[in-house]
Amino acid sequence: MFTSSGKAVWGRVFSSYFVAIMVVWLAVLITLCLGPALKATVTFFFCAVMISSWYGGLCPGLLTSFLSWLALDYYFIPPLYSLGIGPAELPDMLAFSATALFISWLNSDQRKVKSSLQQSRDVLDARVRERTADLKRANLQLQSEIAERRAAEEGLLQAQNELARIARITTMGELAASIAHELNQPLGSIVVNGDACLRWLEGVPPDLEEARQAVEAIIRDGTRAGDVLVRTRKLVRPDDGMRERLDINSVVQEVITWTNDKLQRSGVRLRIELQEDPPPVTVDRVQLQQVILNLVMNAIEAMLEVSQHSRVLWIRTERQVLGKLLVQIADSGAGIDPKHSSRIFEPFYTTKTNGIGMGLTISRSIIEAHGGRLWVVEAERGSTFCFTLPIDRERRRG
Amino acid sequence: MDSEKPIVFAIDDDASMREALSRLFRSIGIRASIFSSAEEFLEFKRPDVPAALVLDVRLPGLSGLELQRELNGSGIPIIYITGHGDIPMSVQAMKAGAVEFLTKPFRDQVLLDAIAVAIKRDRENRKEQSEIAECRARYGLLTQREREVLQHVVEGLLNKQIAARLGTSEFTVKIHRKGVMQKMKAGSVPELVRMAQKCGCHL
């Protein structure tokens, strides 16, 4: 009980004993005032014991009992105004003492129970508050972690896109640099030889043999430069070695699987109409994937400018009469500006801020290498890219 | 020394470029020596004449820039030629003291002009070097006392002050000073100071 500071405890003890004495005086005064009107003289003294023990606990209660006992003996039990009890009053006084002691004990016990109850309620309250605060903190932390993770995922996706773009550009850049170097070597020799040739011819007399040798070297280097270009073409357009017979729909499905995430993120709805049981085509799977992926990505990017609810990507495969398979990829974007439309298949021509302008050029060269055609049709809304592939002959006969 | 016929060295890993360069130099009558790698060039015993080096940046083995670092002591002026016109590399080369950085294909006149500049630079360089060597040789002839006198003369002290510093008579200083002027072959005090600075004798 003595948990608070010393001052407060002593104040409490002092006031308890002060009350214990005061209530006895009050009881004496009231009982004297009321005098014979009061039937039982002890009533107010019981009240005093009750108040004192309720307010101050067991010891003040006992003090009040003792003082009440003295006061009763002094003021109310004959001989009046003196201490001393006759045998006639002894039972009454003993009864009073017993009752007063009992009241003191009862009250003080009650007090203890109540205060311990209050204490445990306080403790409980504090714990509940603490626990609530903990939960709130945990909740906040969880929310911020979720937001962080979401941001990280977003960042990762962006980084992946950026990486893919850089990889594309780096490859192109390296290829271009290596072609430039390969060509500059013979070109450098050609120019130096040409200059030397001129000097031999300008000499007096001109040295025709030296000049002839220089021209021969020029021809040799010119041929060498041509070889570089032939090799480069082969590099960019590989031969038919990788081709296989396959179902065009499966290639379309693969590309859709890869782009699903991007489609959802961009809020694009997808409509697919695939030819049932399409005839097989003999193609390079990776190259064909590259073409379709390129067209789908272009379509998605073309729709970023229009409002989200009208973004629809439409992919169709269809068997045509002349032994060809048609693939259409249509978007509902803003369409192609007429001033660009004639040039979009040119190399290094791009309308995108982050494009390198090779996507459509490479796509067209791949499709043409497969014996097909790639073109664009302007629709009422957006544009439609179409390409054809020849169907395998064996199947057509069968 | 100026009568020595200068020589042009060229290093390129491309055989047809080597042939073309050799033909060009021959057509103008430039004395040239052409190599296919940096290592081959380093093994070659260079004649002691003004020279210029035409160097391909990308070489198998030791690259052009590495060779330049290797050669920095000999101070032969370098003209770079390259099939890649990459800017960072040209900046690095020019910072390291290259005369010119040419991108293939280049016209002969541009190369010949650069070679002329390089040979002129090398000639001046060599003249400077030989002057320093001669100056050092003359300094070697001086006695310890004469060197002390020379140092004080260069510092701009009067004979009287030098005598006080060295604890000797003004007359003795005058004699030493005369000896210094004769041995260093200096016509005047300013010329003596210049010579001393050139070969760093006064330090």
Domain residues of chain A, as ranges? 6-132, 157-238, 242-397
Answer yes or no: are the C-beta atoms of A326 and A317 closer than 8 Å: yes
Chain B nearest-CA distance from A231, in A, is: 18
Residues 6+ apart with CB under 8 A from A210: A196, A197, A200, B23, B26, B27
- In this prediction, residue A356 carries a pLDDT of 66
pLDDT of residue A128: 95
B106/A214 touch (CB, cutoff 8 Å), yes or no: no
CA A59 to CA A156: how far, in whole Å?
76
Query: What CATH fold (topology level) applies to the domain B7-129?
Result: Rossmann fold (3.40.50)
**Given this model, what pLDDT does residue B64 score?**
82
Q: What is the pLDDT of residue A54?
A: 86
Q: How far apart are CA A331 and CA A381, in angstroms?
A: 8
Asked whether B48 and B74 are in contact (CB, 8 A), the reply is no
Q: Is the dihedral of CA A20, A22, A25, A27 positive or negative?
A: negative
How close does chain B come to A166, measured CA to CA in Å?
20
Q: Please report how many Cα atoms fall inside a 13 Å half-sphere around the Cα of residue B88, on the Cβ side.
A: 0
A31 vs A53: CA distance, rounded Å = 20
- Vertex A394: Cα angle to A390 and A398 (nearest 5): 115
Q: What is the pLDDT of residues B79-122, one digit of tens each?
A: 999 887 667 777 888 887 788 888 888 999 999 999 999 999 99
Contact B24 A188 (CB under 8 A): no
Looking at the predicted structure, is the pLDDT value of residue A4 above 90?
no
**How high is the pLDDT of residue A397?**
46
Contacts of A27 (CB under 8 A, 6+ apart): A44, A45, A47, A48, A68, A71
Q: Which amino acid is at A339?
A: K
Complex-level ipTM beyond the 0.85 threshold? no
Q: Is the pLDDT of residue A384 over 70?
A: yes
Domain chopping of chain B, boundaries: 7-129, 142-199
Provide the sign of the torsion angle of the four alpha carbons B195, B198, B199, B201, taken in this order.
positive
Which residue of A186, A200, A217 is in closest CB contact with B27?
A: A200
pLDDT at position B202, please? 47
The single residue listed with the structure tokens 């009050």 is A26
**For the residues A333-346, what does the mean pLDDT come to?**
79
pLDDT of residue A320: 87
Angle made by CA atoms A329, A332, A337, in degrees to the nearest 5: 95
CA–CA dist B148, B134 (Å, integer): 20
Per-residue model confidence (pLDDT) at position A171: 64
The sign of the CA dihedral A244, A248, A252, A253 is: negative
B142-199 under CATH 1.10.10.10, yes or no: yes
Q: What is the mean pLDDT of residues A338-362?
A: 74
Q: CB B23 to CB A196 under 8 A?
A: yes
Average pLDDT over residues A311-317: 92
The structure tokens 């081709």 sit at A243
pLDDT for the residue numbered A398: 40
Q: Which residues of chain A are at the B interface, by a Cβ-Cβ cutoff of 8 Å? A: 177, 180-182, 184-193, 195-196, 199-200, 203, 210, 213-214, 217, 220-221, 224
Cα separation of B76 and B119, whole Å? 9
Q: Percent of chain A scored above 70 by pLDDT?
A: 90
Sheet holding B7-11, edge to edge: B31-35, B7-11, B51-56, B78-82, B100-103
For domain A157-238, the CATH class is mainly alpha
Instruction: Say whether the peptide bond before residue B105 is cis (omega within 30 degrees of 0).
Output: yes
For the segment A102-137, what is each residue's pLDDT rounded down to a tens digit? 988 988 888 889 989 999 999 999 999 999 999 999
Assigned CATH for A242-397: 3.30.565.10
Select from A377, A368, A249 the least CA-distant residue to A316: A249
Could you report the per-residue pLDDT of A219-234, keeping only the tens digit for each? Answer: 999 998 888 888 777 6
Tell me the mean pLDDT in the region A369-379. Answer: 87
**In contact, A49 and A89? CB cutoff 8 Å:** no
The pLDDT tens digits of the residues spanning A358-373 come to 788 888 888 888 889 9
CA-based R_g, chain A, Å: 53
Which residues, given as ranges, of chain B have pLDDT below 70?
1-3, 73, 85-86, 201-203
The pLDDT of residue B1 is: 44
